[in-house]
Amino acid sequence: MPRAWTQAPKDRTRIWPVFPGFETAFGAALDANPVRSHILEQTVLDEASRIADPHRRASEVVAPYLGAIEDASSLDESVQLVICVVPDDLYARCRAKSIVPQAIGDRVTKTDRKRRGSGQLDLYEKYDPEMYRLSVDFRRQLKARAMVFGIPVQIIRESTLKLNDDVELGERRLSPLSHRMWNLGTAIYYKAGGKPWKLSTARDGVCYIGMAFRLTDDVKARTTACCAAQLFLNSGDGIVFRGRMGPWYSPRDRQFHLDRRAAQELLEGTLRTYREQEGKPLTEVFLHSRSEISDEEFAGYRAACPSSVRLVGVRVRTERAGPRLFRKGAMPVQRGTFWALNDRTGFLFASGFKARLGTYDGWETPAPLRIDIQHGDADVRQVAQDILGLTKLNYNACTMGDSQPVTVSFSDAVGEILVANPTVMTPKPQFKFYI
Identify whether residues 127 and 246 lie together within a single domain: no
Identify whether residues 319 and 185 lie together within a single domain: no
Identify whether residues 295 and 380 lie together within a single domain: yes
Classify residue 61: in a domain, yes or no: yes
Last residue of some domain: 191, 223, 250?
A: 191
CB-count exposure of residue 48 (10 Å: 0-12, 13-18, 19+): buried
Classify residue 435: in a domain, yes or no: no
Identify whether residues 180 and 269 lie together within a single domain: no
DSSP state letter for 7: P
The yes-or-no verdict on residue 422 having pLDDT over 90 is no
Segment 344-366 mean pLDDT: 89
Classify residue 200: in a domain, yes or no: no
Domain CATH code at residue 283: 3.30.420.10
Identify whether residues 179 and 252 lie together within a single domain: no
Stretch among 21-30, 201-210, 217-226, 264-273 having the lowest mean pLDDT: 217-226
Identify whether residues 283 and 212 lie together within a single domain: yes
Segment 45-73 mean pLDDT: 94
Classify residue 158: in a domain, yes or no: yes
The yes-or-no verdict on residue 109 having pLDDT over 90 is no
Classify residue 235: in a domain, yes or no: yes
Contact yes or no for 418/427 (Cβ under 8 A): yes
What pTM was computed for the model?
A: 0.89
Classify residue 197: in a domain, yes or no: no
| Higher-pLDDT residue of 222, 345 | 345
Residue 346: give the domain boundaries: 206-430
Identify whether residues 228 and 365 lie together within a single domain: yes
pLDDT tens string 189-230: 999 999 999 888 878 889 999 998 988 766 555 788 889 999
The yes-or-no verdict on residue 272 having pLDDT over 80 is yes
Identify whether residues 320 and 231 lie together within a single domain: yes
Identify whether residues 247 and 130 lie together within a single domain: no
**Confidence bin at 276 (pLDDT 50/70/90):** confident
Taking alpha carbons only, the member of 427, 390, 429, 424 closest to residue 130 is 424
- What was the pLDDT predicted at 262? 96
- What was the pLDDT predicted at 2? 40
- What was the pLDDT predicted at 101? 85
Identify whether residues 88 and 45 lie together within a single domain: yes
Classify residue 98: in a domain, yes or no: yes
Last residue of some domain: 166, 191, 216?
A: 191
The yes-or-no verdict on residue 120 having pLDDT over 80 is no
Contact yes or no for 238/431 (Cβ under 8 A): yes
Contact yes or no for 142/65 (Cβ under 8 A): yes
Last residue of some domain: 157, 191, 225?
A: 191
| Total domains, the chain | 2
Identify whether residues 219 and 170 lie together within a single domain: no
pLDDT tens string 156-177: 999 999 887 777 766 788 888 9
Identify whether residues 319 and 408 lie together within a single domain: yes
| Higher-pLDDT residue of 225, 383 | 383
